[in-house]
């Protein structure tokens, strides 16, 4: 099952809805936690995230994304993959 969190797009959350960077990081972790738990009860999940370098890549925001990636990688059974790797597995 593929779940895409378009409401967690960096531009939408921080620029359109004026949430803080810290709030955005918490939202990412909350969404990941829900999907991680849900995946343990089923066949896994794909956490797809739309990011804009001109938004999240700013010096005062990039640390939030790095912290989120560190958080994700701390969990067992998480596969951090390139899109092409996902396509290759799907084709098999």
Categorise residue 77: left if φ over 0, alpha if ψ from -120 to 50, beta otherwise.
left
According to the model, what pLDDT value does residue 58 have?
95
d(CA 7, CA 69): 18
- pLDDT over 90 (residue 21): yes
In the chain, where the domains are located: 2-91
- pLDDT over 90 (residue 22): yes
pTM score: 0.83
| % the chain with pLDDT above 90 | 59
């Amino acid at each position: 099952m593929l779940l895409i969190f378009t409401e967690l797009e960096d531009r939408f959350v921080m620029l359109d809805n004026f949430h803080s960077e810290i709030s955005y990081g918490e939202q990412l972790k909350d969404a990941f936690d829900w999907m991680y738990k849900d995946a343990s009860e089923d066949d896994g999940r794909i956490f797809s995230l739309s990011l804009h370098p001109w938004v999240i890549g700013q010096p005062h925001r990039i640390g939030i994304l790095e912290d989120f990636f560190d958080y994700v990688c701390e969990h067992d059974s998480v596969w951090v993959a390139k899109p092409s790797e996902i396509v290759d597995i799907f084709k098999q």
